[in-house]
Every structure is written in C-alpha cells, then in structure tokens.
Amino acid sequence: MISWVFLAVTVIGAWFTFNAYVPHRRTGPLIVPSFFAGWLTAELSGHHFAWQVVATVVFVALGALDAWPGWVGLGITVASWLGLLALVPVSRRAAPVLESALGEALGASYRGSLAPEIEATMRKPHPRGRLVIPFWLTHPDVQVTRNVAYVDDGDDRHLLDVYTPRAGVRNAPVLLQIHGGGWIIGNKHEQALPLMTHLAARGWVCVATNYRLSPRATFPDHIIDVKRALRWVRENISEYGGASDFVVATGGSAGGHLSSLLALTPGAPEFQPGFEDADTRVEACVPFYGVYDWSNTYDTWAQPGLDRVLERTIMKKTMSEDPEAFRRASPMHRITPDAPPFFVIHGTHDSLAPVEEARHFVKLLRRTSRSPVAYAEIPGAQHAFEIFHSPRTRYTVEAVERFVAWVYSRHLAERDQKATG
C-alpha cells in the first residue's frame, strides 16, 4: 500500500514540475490548477526540490521500495528532481534579459547618467533570508500607513496604503501600485510587496491603492478610481515625504492594464468625471503581464473566454453592441506620441495573459511614442511571478529600480536646468 501511495505522491510532484515547463494556456478546468502549479514551482524550485527529497526519504524509510510501484515512483521523482534543478539556470537568465532590455531602450551607458545620490541608495544590501522565506514580505526599514481614504465616502475600495522609509524622507519620488485580480478580486496589500518595500527602503514613497471591483463596478469605474487615487497623491503625498511632481505607475495583470491606461490617458474627461481639471499624468509606467487590448483586434488571446468575462462582468455590454467602448478601454488603442517612458515586463510562460499581446503593445508603443520603451520577456516566468521573493523577483525588482532611477535622474536634471534658466 505504501508503495502505491509513494507512486501517487511522485506523480503529483512531477505534475508540478511539468507545469513549470508546459503550462496550460487554454480555457477549461485545468487552467487554474496548471497556473498555480507552474507558478509556484517555477519560482520556488528549490523549495519543491527540498520537500520532494524529504518526502522520498520518509517513504523509503516506511518501505515504499518493497514493491515495484515504489521503484517506478522513485524513477519519476528522480526525473522530477532533474527538472527542478534545471529551472535554476532558467531563472538566472532573467538578469541578462532585463539588463539587455534596459540597455536597448535607454542606451548602453544609461547607468552613467544616474544621479549620484540615487545611485548611492541602490548599493544598499538586501535583507538576508528572503530567498529562504519567500513570503517574508515586510522590511525593517519601511513603515506602512494603512487604509488612507482617497475618496471620503466610507467605501473600503476607496482606501490606499502608503509605504515610506522608517527614517523619514522629503521630496521623494513616488510609485503608485495598482493591484491585479481580473478586475474582480484583489487587494492593495497582496501584490508588488517586494518591489514596494525595496524602493521604500531606498528612499521612495510607494502608494498601493484599491479600486472598485466588478461585478459591482462597471468599467470605467475601475480606472476612474485609479485616477482619483492619483489625484489624491498629487494633492497629499507631500505630507508623507513624497514629491507631487514625480509619480511612476505600476501594476500587474489587471493592474498592468489599469496602470498603462492611466499612463496613456492623462486628463481624459471620460475617465475623470467631476475632476476633469486634475493632473493625472504620470512620469513613467511599469506594467507587468498586463492585458492591453480588450477588443482583441490583433487576435492575440490564448484564452477565448476572456471576451465573455469582459462582456458579462466588467463592461456589461457586448463587443458587437459597442466595439468602440472596448477599444477606448484598451491601452493598445490609446497610444500617442506623448506617452511617458514604459518598461513592459512579461513572462514567456504566462498562461493567463498572452505574451503575444505584450509584444504587439510594445511594437505599437515603439512605433508611436517619443519616449523610451523597454521590454523584457522573462524566460520561464509565469503570471504573477514577482509577488513574493525568488531569484527572478530579485533580478526584476533591481531592474525596475534602475529604470525608474534613470527616469527620475532625467527629471532632476530637467528640473535643475529650468531652475538655472
């Protein structure tokens, strides 16, 4: 009996490893379990290797190899181990890919243009132990002010959190983080914590905002709330040490869509009812694994069910009824020459948001925008790959830091030039 149990456990472990290499990308009952299996395995391959080794030792001690199913299970688990070990160099490939993307967009010598005071903060060491305990998402040098209302109506979806250096800061650059969750679920305290705590520990002020969710909310409620949060930042962030004239937008998945739409629609009256005159521009945008074209104009969707979710739950109208509404909601169709600098990040193994769409979005951005557009396609990365600590997360966070440091250094140089006439 124990041999059969061991065989079953090894098959499950091997299935986790398999999904890290070949995630299911079509709609159906396997897409969610395949995503979770591939996501957790690809980012935590060392942890999976450890639990599989421990489980194997325990089963062998209990007599799993006394019958032939146990030996079959041992062969399967050894193959799984080899697959897990092979994921380690794949994750390390993220570092040169990210650096190459920045060098291509910003120039090979971009690091030499960083302001000295900014470059100095980038040399601070990482806290130890984060790769061993990947869900340790706080930072000793960062304090968080939670549940600040950006609309005074008592709605918990109109709250935001502010991450600041514990030692205090003045006139610091600001990052606005917009969570994902398919425009239906999610919360401000669940995503991008490695990025926000990393930047806040190095002198940034980071703001994570909630927004109304569907099906209660109907688009454009989501982007209207994000713009309200940005208005609050412009008017109030100085109280937390932030600079109101420098805000970078970021977000993953649905947050990648909303942060991109925010960056590409400054002052758009249809998304700013009652506050049309508010300054809703951002100085740069860093979208992660976003959905950029709700109209699927370029036929990039790997999941044919996304249109049904958008029509029934988010937009509450069909594409055939109002195709222009779906285009207006799509960052892909809001690109202008005045778009701010972008750093688009997507994983090659994303099973929830098509990497093909990110490629086309970047192509159109580069064709139209006068600002730099960096694009990093992370080898082996799944959807939501950077929401907890892993080697790939560290490389990505550090690359984003270099990008926003470059944008901020240019901002400081332009400000100084204006001050001196």
Residue whose tokens read 């979806």: 157
Buried b (16+ CB within 10 A) or exposed e, 47-76: bbbeebeebbeebbeeebbeeebbebbbeb
**Residue 131 — φ and ψ, nearest 5°?**
-75, -25
Comparing C-alpha atoms, which of 399, 414, 406, 397 is closest to residue 200? 397
Active site residue 66: no
350 catalytically annotated: yes
Q: Position of tokens 């454009």?
A: 220
Strands 172-178 and 242-252: parallel
Active-site entry in 48, 139, 179, 383? 383
Q: What is the 3-state secondary structure (H, E, C) of the chain?
A: CHHHHHHHHHHHHHHHHHHHHCCCCCCCCCHHHHHHHHHHHHHCHHHHHHHHHHHHHHHHHCCHHHCHHHHHHHHHHHHHHHHHHHHHHHHHCHHHHHHHHHHHHHCCCHHHHCCHHHHHHCCCCCCCCCCCCCCCCCCCCEEEEEEEECCCCCCHHHEEEEEEECCCCCCEEEEEEECCCCCCCCCCCCCCHHHHHHHHHCCCEEEEECCCCCCCCCCCHHHHHHHHHHHHHHHHHHHHCEEEEEEEEEEECHHHHHHHHHHHCCCCHHHCCCCCCCCCCCCEEEEECCCCCCCCCCCCCCCCCHHHHHHHHHHCCCCCCCHHHHHHCCHHHCCCCCCCCEEEEEECCCCCCCHHHHHHHHHHHHHHCCCCEEEEEECCCCCCCCCCCCHHHHHHHHHHHHHHHHHHHHHHHHHHHHHCC
Kindly name the residue from 161, 225, 293, 350 that is annotated as catalytic: 350
From the candidates 91, 253, 390, 409, which is the catalytic residue?
253
According to DSSP, the residues that pair with 164 across neighbouring strands are 143
Catalytic residue status for 253: yes
Q: Is 207 exposed, middle or buried (0-12, 13-18, 19+ CB in 10 A)?
A: buried
Catalytic residues: 253, 350, 383
